Amino acid sequence: MRKIANAALRFAGFSPWARYCSLLLAGALAGLGQAPQDYWYLTIIALAGLLAAHPQSARVGALQVWVFGLGYFAVALRWIVEPFLVDAAATGWMAPFAIVLMAAGAALFWALFAYLAARVAPGSRIALALAIVWAELARALVLTGFPWALLGHIWVPTPLAQLAALGGPHLLTLFTLVSAWALCALFGPARIAGGAILIALLGLGVWAVPPPAVPALPDAPIVRLVQPNAPQDQKWDPAHREIYLNRMITMTGQGARPDLVVWPETAVPYLLNHVQGDLALMADAARGAPLVFGIQRRDENLRYFNSLIVMGPGGLLRSTYDKRHLVPFGEYIPGGDLLGRLGIHGLATSDGAGFAAGTTSPRVSLPGIGDAIPLICYEGIFAEEIGGAGARPRLLMLITNDAWFGRGAGPYQHLAQARLRAIEQGLPMVRVANTGVSAMIDAYGRIMDALPLNTQGALDVALPPARAVTPYARYGDRMLMAILAVLTLCCIVVARRDSD
């Protein structure tokens, strides 16, 4: 650790190219704190180095933060290239541009807030730390948001993840930057404060250890997770899609009848408008149990939706949920509907260019179990959009097709975020993925049982109980934003006092 501190002190003597290459490498190491590596301590150490190297100049400081962020996001978001490699001959050439542009764009949030912090409090490391927290909050909200690989996600496999029940993922991000600042402070004049904070954080980690998992109640509903393991390049292929549909029907009908059967996103590879015969076969296989499945549908206005259906006995469609938060450029073209009204066609959802955002209720009723909050793939990464008014639901239910993410970091990072959603809401989550990882997650974010990645199978698991409503489920990000605002105000006051 002392070698790292000494290296940070010598950093100012590096040539500009050596300095920026070191920052890029440090950012890349920080990215390894995300799943599946989960080297959270590398993220803390790398961020401490970034804070230690913070200069007085706002422009130089912003550039340093941007280079560090470029390395971080290039590693943490490396799975972004996978969708372009599904049809490598046609779209593979886009993959390098996608990862560079995504990493550079995400790092711009950090750089902008670092610049503002340096203008208010030149050279202040705590101001930079708080600025990065604000940047991560902005990244989750601006331009429909993209809160993937938040710095707070490094804590998911640790007891500190339980603090998300108090303040969500951004409270964990604040803890990440405070830890980095405290580590940096150990080797400066504020070493006593830094040491005290690190001890306090260690104590919080011990305090946050969740209680042992309890056995399922005898009357707990049994949920069957059905994972067909359909590769993305075969999922919609007419020569293969019936194979995977029949596979799910077979696995649904095997063994004792569960209380609920859940299939993944777009499990049925046809429009809902044209599958009456298949629905009857699916209902027969479910044997009276409610069957949840993903499918696409078209309405009377020729708009397409990515939907979740709850089907009862006899093929009766009991509930329909249409995905509300769509992937920009992946599921729709931003501004396409406006351009369509202006006479520029081919980009609007009504022209078939992507999906329309759903307006259906963000709740579905599961007979014999209770209400569930449905989430389709991308929606599972937005903590602030889950929950809301109304009676407390029984569970979260996420269906996804992670085949797009390949076999590397993407599926595991998506799973980690699902665990965090369960902690935040204090609700168990049923997560079913096309190629995995399908899992039953309890209200403390623990995986009770799972089907591994790229594995075909069906898993019967008892639904864990819900916890009491959490502060985050009740108040959302308001508590965190209040804490962050107070800390920022104190930082500004101290900086101005010192400058007088």
Is 377 tagged catalytic?
yes
Angle between helices 478-499 and 125-139 (to 10 degrees): 150
Angle between helices 276-286 and 241-253 (to 10 degrees): 30
Strands of the 222-227 sheet, one edge to the other: 317-322, 304-311, 291-298, 260-262, 222-227, 457-462
* φ, ψ of residue 300 in degrees (nearest 5): -70, -15
State the catalytic residue, choosing from 323, 379, 424, 491: 323
Residue 207: Cβ-neighbour burial (10 angstroms; 0-12, 13-18, 19+): exposed
Contacts of 144 (CB under 8 A, 6+ apart): 325, 328, 334
Between CA 399 and CA 438 the distance in angstroms is: 9
Between CA 434 and CA 266 the distance in angstroms is: 9
State how far the alpha carbon of 88 is from the alpha carbons of 94, 97, 199, 404, in Å. 9, 14, 50, 13
* φ, ψ of residue 115 in degrees (nearest 5): -65, -45
Helix (H, G, I), strand (E, B) or coil at 317: strand
State the catalytic residue, choosing from 82, 377, 379, 491: 377
**C-alpha distance across the termini of the chain, in Å:** 36
Using only the alpha carbons of the chain, give its radius of gyration.
24
Report yes or no: 66 and 58 within 8 Å, Cβ to Cβ.
no
Between CA 113 and CA 131 the distance in angstroms is: 5
Between CA 107 and CA 134 the distance in angstroms is: 13
State the catalytic residue, choosing from 82, 136, 235, 265: 265
Is 323 tagged catalytic?
yes
Q: Which of 453, 384, 444 is nearest to 420 (CA)?
A: 444
Report yes or no: 197 and 62 within 8 Å, Cβ to Cβ.
no
Between CA 243 and CA 251 the distance in angstroms is: 12
State how far the alpha carbon of 29 is from the alpha carbons of 45, 69, 274, 322, 396, in Å. 9, 11, 50, 39, 33
Q: State the residue for tokens 């209380």.
A: 259
Is 242 tagged catalytic?
no
Q: Any idea which residues carry the catalytic annotation?
A: 265, 323, 377
